[in-house]
Amino acid sequence: MSIESRLHELQIVLPEASEPAAKYANYVIVNGLMFVSGKGPSGNPKGKVGEEFSTEEGYRFARNTGIEVLAVVKSALGSLDKVKRVVKVQGFVNAHPDFEEPHKVLNGFSDLMLDVFGERGIHARSVLGASALRDNLPIVVDSIFQVEE
């Protein structure tokens, strides 16, 4: 099954790829690895998980961030079928100092990668609770994909 068919089955419509917020590239491809710059959720939500947002809301923001990342990957490659593997995910959760569940928030991103790519979506990852993120976003994720060039 193609990834496009899988997205349709999951009722996911990818938006247009967002543009970088400053003077950097949305992505860089080196030796078959695609490094995607940090992305946040669409709609520009603002606030901290564990304060303004619950873990469940953070999970949904992380999943939405994954959709934003997939839009960049598709825009760059022309097709998500050129993704051989999701390699690494690093999440930064804008968290209240007492919030202890950033890993549960990032599961929204990880679960989406598994839903879309199956076994190719299994990846290494790290997650950090942050005291502040750009534009007060609740989450920012950067990621690495192995791709066909």
Distance CA 87, CA 84 (A): 9
Matching residue, tokens 């050129």:
82
Residue 141: predicted pLDDT = 98
pLDDT along the chain (149 residues), means of 10: 93 93 93 97 96 98 98 97 98 97 98 98 97 96 95
Which is nearest to 69 in space by CA: 15, 149, 107, 114? 15
- pTM value is 0.96
Residue 19: predicted pLDDT = 87
Distance CA 61, CA 146 (A): 24
Task: Give me the domains of the chain, ranges plus CATH numbers.
Answer: 3-18+32-147 (3.30.1330.40)
Task: Centre a 10 Å sphere on the Cβ of residue 53 and count the other Cβ atoms it contains.
Answer: 24
Q: What is the DSSP letter of 53?
A: B
Instruction: Pinpoint the alpha helices (H) of the chain.
Output: 3-9, 55-77, 102-117
Strand, helix or coil at 128? strand
User: Residue-wise over 97-136: b if at least 16 C-beta within 10 A, else e?
Assistant: eebebbebbbbbbbebbebbbeebbebebebebbeebeee
Residue 22: predicted pLDDT = 86
Residue 133: predicted pLDDT = 96
